[in-house]
Amino acid sequence: MPTAFQAVQIDYAALAPMLVIVGAALLGVLVEAFAPRGSRHMIQVALTLVALVASFVVLALVSVDHQTVTAGGSIVVDGPALFMQGTLLIFGILGVLTMSERFGGRSADAFTPMGAATPGSPAEANAERAGFATSEAFPLTLFAMFGMLMFVAANDLITMFVALEVLSLPLYVLTGLARRRRLLSQEGSLKYFLLGAFSSAFFLFGAALLYGYAGSTDLAVISRAITTANGDLEGLLLPGVVLTLIGLLFKVGAVPFHSWTPDAYQGAPTPVTGFMAAATKLAAFGAILRLAYVGLEASRIEWRLGVAAIAVLTMVVGAVVSVTQTDMKRLLAYSSIAHAGFVLVGVLAFDVTAVSGVMFYVLAYGLSTIAAFAIVFLVRSGGSEATHISQWAGLGRNHPVVAGVFSLMLLAFAGIPLTSGFTAKFAVFAPAVAHGGLAGIVMVVVGVLASGVTAFVYFRLIVLMYFTESTADDVVVALTPSIASTIAITVGALGTVVLGIVPGPILDLAGRVSQFIL
């Protein structure tokens, strides 16, 4: 006798990295509730780092041998999912290392009342209390990481939507944690929340239309329905595809869905901004790749040119508007928008080499971005972050190491040869030229021109740091980073150099794991 309920087969080895992260996040909530206030920060940092490292080890040693579709078909663990999950965990480790200094009280002026904390002063005590009071940032980061890991492995639209919410909600809270710039931070958090609400609404509406079209939210079923041309319901396909893609394009900051992204970047605590810029973009592009290549590839002729126009617009607006920016974090925000356009060029090539190119690009960009924002956090003027670019004048003479590493990140963003940025751009542009037709060639030409515009912005900053005298009343200094921040910046800088000089091993790895399980 048939039953209405069937047992769902779950491969726990395949899901082990996600289970480690969500378990640690729940344990972090208990720590926040029961641990003594004075020891929460240390416990949370240690727990978060151990969980991220353990998850990466489990992924590399266990999950890699259990590539399958599991959890009732809602999760797929394949090559692209494992590559992007591993990259996300690396970003999580580096992000938490930078956040540990921010939230630990040592340099926690963003959480103190106005005025810098001096050793032994009441302001320092306030900084300590503020650091302990924001230890909830670490379980929030783990919950966001859990959502991201699920997002890149989601095999149906419902799971993808749930993952989108799980990764987004903690980030809204993290964006609003800067206390010294309380109003700016809360404004950024609210705007980021509204952007996320728009993203979820568009995605959910599009998913509902695709379900009406195919009778299922499973990406493979949707693909088969498109291939067999589902007759009377054909009118639901294109609106469903467009709305679903718009929901995801909000998350990568593509134009014209980018409007409040710079405000969120500017308002968030700087280490959180670096983590969001790297990890959220990677997770969103992972979901876009799976949706486009697994679920919607058969219909790409109907929507590809529209997304190509968005890619062109994103590159142009991100590059041109970055020229006018005077705030360092907003400048890097518009730079990230331009980079989203570059990655979209690779996505639209619809070739296995494009998948590997996109995965390499988000890895290279993320390493440079986390290191860049960590350096922005270190540069201070008058006890607060020196975010106005004029305050960076003369930094190269007073703090040559800090300025040198930041210049390396800027050269990578510009795509200068022998940096990871050049290799990454080549990795996404080459498939577009080879397989993207005329539209691909046009996008690459625009991308090269946009790269030239952004290069002007980055070289202007380098000239400012090394060849311009400081005229500011306040002395600009670079804090001596903690061991944790030093590790994060060093790994980012080494990754930028290594992926630019000897990118072969990572490109080969990305090429070997670029096949989706259909």
Question: Where along the chain do its domains lie?
Answer: 12-512
| CB under 8 A, 24+ apart: contacts of 121-130 | 129/105, 130/105, 130/179
In whole angstroms, what is the distance from residue 157 CA to residue 244 CA? 9
**Which tokens go with 363?**
């890895």
Q: Which residues of the chain have pLDDT under 50?
A: 1-2, 102-133, 231
Cα 82 to its chain centre, rounded Å, is 16
CB contact at 8 A, 481 and 99: no
**Which tokens go with 88?**
């996300």
Predicted TM-score (pTM) of this structure? 0.90
Query: What letters, b where the CB count within 10 A reaches 16 and e where it falls short, cover 67-78?
Result: bebbbebbbbbb
Counting Cβ atoms within 10 Å, is residue 475 exposed (0-12), middle (13-18) or buried (19+)? exposed
Q: What is the pLDDT of residue 408?
A: 93
**Which tokens go with 27?**
């344990």
3-state class percentages of the chain: helix first, strand second, coil last, to nearest 5? 75, 5, 20
Q: What is the pLDDT of residue 379?
A: 86
In whole angstroms, what is the distance from residue 398 CA to residue 427 CA? 37
Q: What is the pLDDT of residue 121?
A: 38
In whole angstroms, what is the distance from residue 387 CA to residue 430 CA? 36
CB contact at 8 A, 94 and 45: no
